[in-house]
Chain A
Amino acid sequence: MEILSFEETRKLLLKYKIPFCKTEIFNSKEKALAYVKKIGFPIALKIHSRTIFHKSEIGGVKVGINNEEEFSVAWDEMKQNTELRNIEGILVQEMVSGNEIAIGMKRDPQFGPVLMVGLGGIFIEVLKDVAFRIAPMEKSEAIKMIKEIKGYKLLEGYRNREGVNVDKLAMLLVNLSKLSIKEKNILSIDFNPVMGNNKNVLVADFRLTI
């Protein structure tokens, strides 16, 4: 099992209309910086590798980079951390604010693609607050699935907190369902986190395995 390359991942996400945060992959610091200037701070840096499953554990993730100086330090550090490793490059990604959502797919030998959605961050780590469905799934089913999450109220917007565009989240799940049914070589998918606010629901971190 290995992780799908960034280019192939991007192609699939575009093909199935799964929206993701503005992301590009670089090996050259100068080119990366030019892109950063284009999309604006804050940004995140993440390594992408076919073989590294837990990139944050080896210092392969740095979020909330606010200026050129921070960028320069973070880039060098990341290069150093991954010097001896086989990485495809470093992803430069816009930072989007919102609620963290976790979405995933795995293949079950009996039922086929199993889809999962839940609140991300500590909610999935500690409370395991997730809902499951079997693909294929239509939008109405996706909405039911989302409403099944115990913390659904947070997605609706709770007190002063901004909620999540449930319609777009449902569409993302439907498109994930389509991808899972058609792209049989993809063994599993992890979108964690997906950032959701009132306007958009964008995949921030993706890991597709083949």
Chain B
Amino acid sequence: MNVKKIKKINYIFNPKSIAVVGASDKELTVGNGLIKNLESEGERKLFYVNPNDNEVLGRETYKKISHIKSKIDLVIIIVHAGLIPQIIKECCAKKVGGILVISNGFSEAGEEGKKLEKEITTMASKADIPLIGPNCLGVINTWADLNASFSPINPQKGDIALLSQSGSMVDAILDISAEESFGFSKVISYGNEADLTLEDFLLYLKNDKETKVIALYFEAIKNGQGFMEAVREVSKYKPVVAIKAGKGAQGQKAATTHTGALSTDYEIYKAALKQSGAIQVDSLEEMLDVIEVLDFQPRCENNIAIITNGGGLGVLATDYCEEMKINLPELENKTIRLMEKEESMEKVLTKRNPLDIIGDAVSARYEAGIRSLLEQENISGLLIMQSMQIMTEPLENAKIIVELNKKFPKKAIVCCFAGKKLVAEAIEYLEKNKIPNYADPYRAVNALNNLIKRK
């Protein structure tokens, strides 16, 4: 991927002018949904191309791309596949900045579609115009107030870039995370990768200042080695969290060897992701848990401490740590002496990691415990657990945690306020302040595990 290509992709993500071919007034259509999204945000020149209607959303329409006098940065195409080669031809003649083809009916639809796809890709590449799609939901750049997609929801601004082969997964992820405290930088539904490929987008996002974490959903990869190379390169700078759908066992068919029989497609993808440094997740819930923790908290070393007011929670978490090979270092004498100085810690007779500050812990004890643990140099991350008991002060605890997280910004904190009704307010406070909370100890430990930098 060269610098020139990245610059060209910028036309698609930061367009000053957009033409939509297939813009429509007809409700509940892609051509209508997409332009409503475009109109909802941002200030830019919009041109609607529609040979049948004179007006769309109150704007005068153009019969053809070539009728538009001004320069066009991005052309979005939402018409029948068969009509598209002619439109691309006009785009090339007009030297537009970039093209986004939403329409389906291309290589995913059989031989005829394959030919069409090749035709439009060849034209665009010859004219040196980057093309996204076809067969996709579109793209969103929250930081440029651009929603060039027919997603039913507008994501809030944030640090996460979402790359998805499937458009419907984008819709699902954006809706699920609509009320979370994290947001999205770019959303790219990359479709058939006729011209711009997954690898191009990964490398583009590597240099994207607004993107801190990359979430990737895919079903199949077109170029395995190229993909691995791109992930390896990007992972040096930002985490790539990937979910692969389709655990198909095609590799097993007609296998006469152990390698053949055991190396299912899914196993191969898992190996490829691991080897290239991606974080592989197995469910949508895990995907959201992991992108959140990576967005909110710094990466840490494999030295974690647990503090809890409930023995049970602590035991569960310790089990999971063992399972995930998370190291729980001993408390140093210095740390123990620090705790001994605190009046609030008097009742805590056993001072070790995991640190059980006992059920009747009020906020002062949480504060003393957390602070002492964070003071210990080799403790790189903290799991703070809380079960609601009659004297527990969840909001106070949350405030203390936020303060101490600011004081020790290099150390990672993940919370497990195990509950729902009684801790809702506290959790909201935590998450607003970028401390991730998971009600289930397993999810909390798993999130923490993904913060750990392992060699």
> Is A188 within 8 A of B262, CB to CB?
no
Smallest Cβ-Cβ distance to A141: which chain B residue: B275
B220, B257, B258, B268: the one within 8 Å of A134 (CB): B268
Nearest CB to that of B454 among chain A residues? A144
**Which B257-276 residues have C-beta < 8 A from chain A?**
257-260, 262-263, 267-268, 270-272, 275
**B259 smallest CB distance to A (angstroms):** 3
Alpha-carbon gap, A118 to B267, bound state (A): 14
Interface centre among A102, A106, A133 (most CB of B within 10 A): A106
A183 CA / B151 CA spacing, docked (Å): 48
Quick one: closest A residue to B276, CB to CB? A134
Q: Check if A134 sits within 8 Å of B259, measured CB to CB.
A: no
Q: CB of A128 within 8 A of chain B? A: yes
Q: Does B42 contact A (CB under 8 A)?
A: no
- Tell me which of A12-20, A76-84, A108-116, A166-174 binds B: A108-116
Majority DSSP secondary structure for residues of B touching A: helix
Known A132-B268, A134-B272; contact A116-B221, beta-carbon cutoff 8 A: no
Q: List the B residue with the shortest CB-CB distance to A53.
A: B256
A133-B221 in contact given A116-B263, A188-B259 (Cβ < 8 Å): no
Q: Give the shortest distance, in Å, between B324 (CB) and chain A (any CB).
A: 14
* Inter-chain contact B259/A116, CB cutoff 8 Å: yes
Q: A residues within 8 A CB of B270?
A: 132
Q: Is B224 an interface residue (CB 8 A)?
A: yes
Interface size class of B (residues with CB under 8 A): 20 to 34
- In the complex where A106-B263, A132-B263, A134-B228 touch, is A111 in contact with B268 (Cβ < 8 A)? yes
In the complex, what distance in Å separates the CA atom of A66 from the CA atom of B316?
A: 55
Q: Shortest beta-carbon distance, A9 to chain B, in Å?
A: 15
Which residues from chain A contact B220 at a C-beta distance below 8 Å? 110
Inter-chain contact A114/B275, CB cutoff 8 Å: no
Q: If A108-B251, A134-B268 touch, does A114 touch B259 (CB 8 Å cutoff)? A: yes
Tell me which residues across on chain B come within 8 A of A104, comparing CB atoms: 257-260
Q: Mark A80-124, 1 if CB is under 8 A from B, else 0.
A: 000000000000000000000010111010111010101000001
Closest beta carbon of chain A to B256's beta carbon, Å: 6
In the assembled complex, the Cα of A123 lies from the Cα of B94 at a distance in Å of: 64
Contact in complex: B259, A190 (CB < 8 Å): yes
Q: Is the C-beta of B225 less than 8 angstroms from some C-beta in chain A?
A: yes
A49 adjacent to chain B (CB < 8 Å): no
When A108-B224, A111-B224, A112-B224 are in contact, do A132 and B267 touch as well, CB less than 8 Å?
yes
Per-residue contact bits, chain A 174-210, to B (CB 8 Å; 1 contact, 0 not)? 0000000000000011101000000000000001000
- Which of A111, A128, A188 has a CB less than 8 Å from the CB of B260? A188
A25: Cβ under 8 A from any B Cβ: no
Whether the pair A111, B228 counts as a contact (CB closer than 8 A) is yes
Residue contact A134 to B262, C-beta cutoff 8 Å: no
Most interface-central of B257, B267, B272 (chain A CB within 10 A): B257
Q: A116-B263, A132-B267 are in contact. Are A111 and B258 (CB under 8 A)?
A: no
Number of interface residues of A (CB under 8 A): 26
Q: Are B258 and A116 in contact (CB under 8 A)?
A: yes
Interface residues as binary, A125-162 with B (CB distance below 8 Å gives 1, 0 otherwise): 00010111110010001000000000000000000000
Q: How far is the CB of B227 from chain A (nearest CB, A)?
A: 8
Interface string of B197-228 (1 = CB under 8 A from A): 00000000000000000000000111111001
Q: How near does chain B come to A112, taking the closest CB pair, in angstroms?
A: 6
B262 proximity list for chain A (CB < 8 A)? 116, 118, 124, 128, 130
- Are the CB atoms of A102 and B258 closer together than 8 Å? yes
CB-CB contacts below 8 Å: B315-374 with A: none
A22 to B259, CA, bound (A): 25
Q: How far is the CB of B37 from chain A (nearest CB, A)?
A: 34
Contact between chains at A106 and B224 (CB < 8 Å):
no
**In the complex, which residues of chain A have a beta carbon less than 8 angstroms from the beta carbon of B224?**
108, 110-112, 134
- Alpha-carbon separation in the docked complex, A131 to B258 (Å): 12
Please indicate the chain B residues that have their CB under 8 angstroms from the CB of A105 in the complex: 259
Distance to closest chain B CB from A150 (angstroms): 12
Question: In the complex the two chains form, is B275's CB within 8 Å of A133's CB?
Answer: yes
Residues of B within 8 A of A192 (CB): 258
- Within 8 Å by CB of A106, from B221, B260, B271, B275, lies B260
Interface string of B243-264 (1 = CB under 8 A from A): 0000000010000111110110
Q: Are A188 and B272 in contact (CB under 8 A)?
A: no
Check B271–A132 contact: CB distance below 8 A.
Answer: yes
Nearest B residue (CB) for A116: B259
* Bound Cα distance from A141 to B220, whole angstroms: 24
A112 to B260, CA, bound (A): 13
Residues of B with C-beta under 8 A to A133: 271, 275
Interchain CB contact (< 8 A) of B258 among A53, A112, A190: A190
Binding site for B on A (CB under 8 A): 53, 102, 104-106, 108, 110-112, 114, 116, 118, 124, 128, 130-134, 137, 141, 188-190, 192, 207
The 3 closest A-B pairs by CB, nearest first: A104-B259, A111-B224, A110-B224
A-B contact pairs, 27 of them (CB 8 A): A104-B258, A104-B259, A106-B251, A108-B263, A108-B268, A110-B220, A110-B223, A110-B224, A111-B225, A111-B268, A114-B263, A116-B259, A116-B262, A116-B263, A124-B258, A130-B258, A130-B262, A132-B268, A132-B270, A132-B271, A133-B271, A133-B275, A134-B224, A134-B268, A188-B257, A188-B259, A190-B259
